[in-house]
A and B are shown apart, each in its own frame.
Chain A
Amino acid sequence: MEVKIVVPHMGESIVEGTILKWLKRPGDRVERDESVVEIGSDKIDVEVPAPARGTLKEILAQEGATVAVGNAVALLEAEDAAPARPKVEVPPEPVAAEEGEAKQGEIPPRGRRRITPVVAKLAERHGVDLDQIEGTGLGGRVTKKDVLPYLEGRRPTQEAPEPKRKEETLPTPTPPAAVPSEEEPVEVIPVTAMRKAIAEHLVRSKQTAPHVTTVAEVDMTRLVNFREKHKAEFERQEGISLTYMPFFVMACIRTLKEFPFLNASMEEERILLKRYYHIGVAVALEEGLVVPVIRHADRLDIRGLAHAIHDLAERARTKKLASDDLKGGTFSITNPGALGAVLSTPIINYPQAAILGVEAIRKTPVVRDDQIAIRHMMYLCLSYDHRIVDGATAVQFNQRVRRILENPLELIL
């Protein structure tokens, strides 16, 4: 018997629909409730089901045509004697007692595989093409338990096949993480909060301040001799060893007073010249570098500086620094020479304007009065923020520090 397939009622105020796509062709067999045609309106799109089982006989409206609600778009040759009335007719197969059960027992249609979140995550993370895995779940679904043995079985060095859908779904795929192999072992270290802070601080400094490093060569012989002469007694009196650092700090402060732009910082449109001298001294620890600050270092003499430096370094090593100890520096000194470095390009302890790297003191043949002499030589490496400090100023500063260190008696005044 012939049955009409009509444009269904699609809601209030919708009077006509447009044929979007025919899902069946004339001559195709259709089941009852199987979708036959997609019809669109300005509000919604619907798939129109077959009112009965049978064969599609004739299409009355082609794709793109607009048809009024209730008008026929196709004719169906129904197999049943009477057109099915859905509410009354007994379903072809008895539905299981619980509706939920029936739904869960439903087999996913071919070609549209059901993928659960965990399987999607595993596939994404390991670059697995799920089509290559045989699913053992309901309706052939690929389960987590199917993916895990597959991943274990895959050779670690094997190139991860790119998932087919990736291009469609992820416009900017992140590169797959390196897969560790026996030949190329990788140890993964989670970044500590301290390491993260160091990283952020250094990146900001390098990105904000244009760095230039100028190097001066210092003849340290007098200071070396002076220290050799006094260090034993100093240690006996003070209980701490006499290092070169107090001399470096004092020499820098003397010079900073003459060159205030190196004891400064830049904020937007302003340059702030600091009329106080909080000197940061870098201390290398196993877990990272810290730069505790000697506050008002200009008020201390050599002994006072030696104690202040010793105290900060000690507290840094025993993790007893207060957060105030690390704040407010106006200029910093770092000492890679202690570990044997002869030359370095330190990164400024931003927002300070400059940092001085003091290098290893080495006996070196140098020319003195047209003769070759053996002297204790050292490089001073000054990195400065070129926005605040001009090259000439920086070179003059470094040379002034050099002269003070070469004539340590100047420190007395």
Chain B
Amino acid sequence: MNETPHLSPQEIIDLYKTEFGTGIQDARITERGEGVRKTKGYNVWIRVDRALLKPAINKLINIRFPHLAVIAGNDLGTEIELLYIFSVFYGTKFGEYMVTIGIRLPKTDLTVPTITDLIPGALISEREKQEFFGITVTGIPDGRRLFIPDEFPQGVYPWRKDETGIKPEMVRELWAIGRPKDRPAPPVPEKKPLQEESAAEGKKEKMGGAPE
């Protein structure tokens, strides 16, 4: 199988800019040093329009099939940002880095196309975003609730920061719930603290440690 050779992060950004041009709203590389020797690790951040999401992911698949780590989400007030976090070039030593393709959905139109036809494993992450943010993933094969129990009220989206988020009366404070009252606490009395014995031991040690 002929694969493209290992590309550096800047080369990936150049490829994206030549293909999509103005569709790319923001592209940057962050660099960090890992470990004692500070080997370079890179993160590539690319923000595109919503319509260019699948062409951008297709392009990454043609470069080298990536590993989708997670689809992360964020509530920015008037928009919801979805970050598709991939890692490419697995297998080369110190050659794997993360490529994040981000899109922003306005809260007036919260739809995003599904990528399960390109990457079937994205189903779990897309279901999670659907139930926690209230976005609609068009074309998702299985749109049921995943983590939230079925008795949870329908219009409440836990990760949102606006009025559809978690209301204070839904929050249960576990630290305020004390011990259960119907059980003896503790059922059998504890042993007496060994204060007399340890005092006697202390005296003996002092006597033993006196200069001989």
**Same complex:** no
